[in-house]
Amino acid sequence: MERPGSLGPPRTDRRGRWAQSPLALMDTTMDQLRTLIMVHEAGTALGAARILGREQSSVQKQIDTMNRNFRELCGEPLILKQGRGKDVLFTGTGEALVELARGTLGDWLDGIHESRRRLGKTLMVGTTRFTLSYLAGAGERVAEDFRQRGIELKVGHVRTRDVLAKLRAKDVDLVCGSVVTRPEGGDELAAFDVMEWRRSGVSLLTNLSEAELPGPTAPTSALRTLPLVISASGLMAGVLHTWFGGDYRGKLRIAAEIDTVNYGFELLRSGLLRGCMLVTKGVADAAGDPRVVYGRGLRAVELVNDTGPRLEVLLGAFTRRGERASYDPAHPLNLLWDALAQENARWQREQRWPTAGLEPDPFELANSYDPSES
């Protein structure tokens, strides 16, 4: 028996508690919860109405209903008006209910998406900017099958630094992009199935003379004294972090910071700055072709590891390890994976760079670093 004055819900079994739920709570709809969240985000009913594409009166009616119901349930409304032109004020109960609403809607959306993913009704794919055209070719191979089966293929931009993180968080089912790894493999890839398209070592592109920087190779320890053109983030920032530690910026001679890799090329070609820029070996080697505009006047120097582990940039497709094997071969994840393998084979057969064409291999540019992708 409950002691008089005891706090908290009645001590009953879960089934009984659900069966005795207050009618005012049971009348609360998902749509009302969404409206509550949007008012909290926008600050006003008008702002929420604009986000939802509805009339302000419709939003206000829902807020009034929830205020009335939760005043009855909890003893205070959720939202208080502050006057014309001012954001509404959420009470303590209102703030608590907004957090509950976010969790409730989020859990439902996640559950629905997970069910669609398991049944093969939705496929979430992430791609970096450089690998989008590659994914598009594979997408064409499965487009008709997906259309006939009602499979929804969703594609989103993923920054290079988030390629594996997006998979870990289950934000995507498959991602195309680049990661920094070791030739022998590393723990960072242990949790993933990897379709390797290309690997490339790390080199320098420089406008320094042979007297200033002899070639054709240089030790990685030489980076401590060379004037470097770097980005604050991106794949090559990850390389420097691995070799010289998190405080690498204080250990190296930074001549310039860049926002895009193309600006780095232009800066070195202009001669306004004398220095070096880290790129993949493929990009550096291609720069030696006189037909390549971005490398004109620049020299490639291959880096030889004497400071830290040998690193490579791996370009490819990634999924969570074992997930494809748990699905039927006709599952859209397996179909798209196979299509990507076919697309890779096609690119390998038709590869022209550097013996033909005037632009660098898109794979190598993808393996290069672009801070806009970081």
Q: Give mean pLDDT in consecutive 10-residue pieces for the chain, a chain of 374 residues.
A: 44 73 86 93 92 91 92 91 87 93 87 71 85 86 93 88 86 89 77 89 91 91 93 80 88 88 86 90 73 77 87 90 91 94 84 42 43 41
Please count the other Cβ atoms lying within 10 Å of the Cβ belonging to residue 117.
19
Whether 361 contacts 353, CB under 8 Å: yes
Phi then psi for 288, rounded to 5 degrees?
-75, -15
∠ CA 365-371-374 to the nearest 5 degrees? 100
Name residues whose C-beta falls within 8 Å of residue 9's C-beta, 6 or more positions apart in sequence.
Answer: 17
* Ramachandran assignment for 191, one of left (phi > 0), alpha (psi -120 to 50 degrees), beta (any other): alpha
Whether 295 contacts 213, CB under 8 Å: no
Q: What is the pLDDT of residue 364?
A: 44
What does the CA dihedral 3, 7, 8, 12 come to, rounded to 10 degrees?
10
Whether 229 contacts 339, CB under 8 Å: no
Q: How far apart are CA 33 and CA 57, in angstroms?
A: 17
Q: What is the pLDDT of residue 33?
A: 93
Distances (CA, A) of 249 to 219, 237, 243: 18, 10, 12
Among residues 340, 337, 330, 334, the alpha carbon closest in space to that of 148 is found at 330
Is residue 227 reached through a cis peptide bond, with omega within 30 degrees of 0 on the bond before it? Answer: no
Tokens of 18: 């659900």
Q: What is the pLDDT of residue 162?
A: 84
Q: What is the pLDDT of residue 355?
A: 35
Q: What is the pLDDT of residue 115?
A: 72
Among residues 71, 70, 83, the alpha carbon closest in space to that of 43 is found at 83
